[in-house]
Structure 1
Amino acid sequence: MNDAHQAMEKKPYLAVFDLDETLIAADSASLWNEFIVEKGLAPESLLVEEKELMEAYAKGNLDMHTYLRTTLKPIVGMDTQTLNQLMTEFLAQKIKPALYEDALSRIAWHKKRGDFILIISATGEHLVKPIAKLLGADDAIAINLEQINGIFTGKTTGTLSYQQGKVVRMKAWLEAQEIEFSGSYGYSDSINDLPMLDAVDRPFAVNPDPALALHAQMKDWTIMDWRHENNILR
Structure 2
Amino acid sequence: MRLTRPSARERAARAQLAGQASAEAASAAAHAEPLAPGTDLTAAAFFDVDNTVLAGASIYHFVRGLASRKFFTTGDLVRFAVRQVRFRFAGEDSGDIRDSREEALSFVAGRTVAEIVRLGEEIYDEEMADRLYAGSIELIKRHLDAGQRVWLVTATPVELAQIIARRLGLSGALGTVAEAVDGVYTGRLVGEMLHGPAKASAVRALAAAEGLDLRRCTAYSDSINDVPMLSVVGTAVAVNPDGALRDAARKHGWQIRDFRTARKAARIGVPSVLGAGAITGAVFGGLAVRRRLR
Normalising by the residue count of structure 2, what TM-score does the alignment of the two structures yield? 0.66
- Structure 2 regions of 5+ residues with no counterpart? 1-39, 94-98, 265-294
| Distance apart, 1:81 and its partner CA | 2.6
Amino acid at match of 2:55: A
Q: Which residue of 2 aligns with 1:207?
A: 240
- Pairing of 1:18-37 with structure 2 (within 5 A): 18-37=48-67
Give the number of the structure with larger relative contact order, counting CA–CA contacts within 8 Å between residues 6 or more apart. 2
Q: Which residue of 2 aligns with 1:189?
A: 222
Q: After superposition, what is the alpha-carbon deviation per residue over 1:169-194, rounded to whole angstroms, capped at 9, x for unaligned?
A: 21111111145566011100001101
Q: Among the aligned pairs, what percent are the same residue? A: 26
Q: After superposition, what is the alpha-carbon deviation per residue over 1:91-115, rounded to whole angstroms, capped at 9, x for unaligned?
A: 1011101111111111111111111
Query: Which of 230, 242, 254 is the matching residue for 1:221?
Result: 254
Q: Which residue of 1 aligns with 2:23?
A: none
C-alpha distance in 1, partners of 2:214/2:195?
A: 23
| Distance apart, 1:129 and its partner CA | 1.1
Q: After superposition, what is the alpha-carbon deviation per residue over 1:109-148, rounded to whole angstroms, capped at 9, x for unaligned?
A: 1111111101111121121111111111112111111112
Normalising by the residue count of structure 1, what TM-score does the alignment of the two structures yield? 0.82
Q: After superposition, what is the alpha-carbon deviation per residue over 1:20-42, rounded to whole angstroms, capped at 9, x for unaligned?
A: 11110010111111111121012
Q: Which residue of 1 aligns with 2:115?
A: 82
Against the structure 1 CA distance between its residues 161 and 22, is the aligned structure 2 distance closer, same or farther, given a 3 Å change threshold? same
The structure with more helix, counted as a fraction of residues: 2
| Distance apart, 1:12 and its partner CA | 4.6
The structure with more strand, counted as a fraction of residues: 1
Q: CA RMSD in A?
A: 2.8
**Equivalences, count:** 218
1:69 paired to 2:99:
no
1:174 paired to 2:204:
no
- Structure 1 regions of 5+ residues with no counterpart? 1-9
Amino acid at match of 2:77: L
Amino acid at match of 2:233: V
Q: After superposition, what is the alpha-carbon deviation per residue over 1:198-221, rounded to whole angstroms, capped at 9, x for unaligned?
A: 111110000101111111122221
C-alpha distance in 2, partners of 1:67/1:150?
A: 21
C-alpha distance in 1, partners of 2:85/2:220?
A: 20
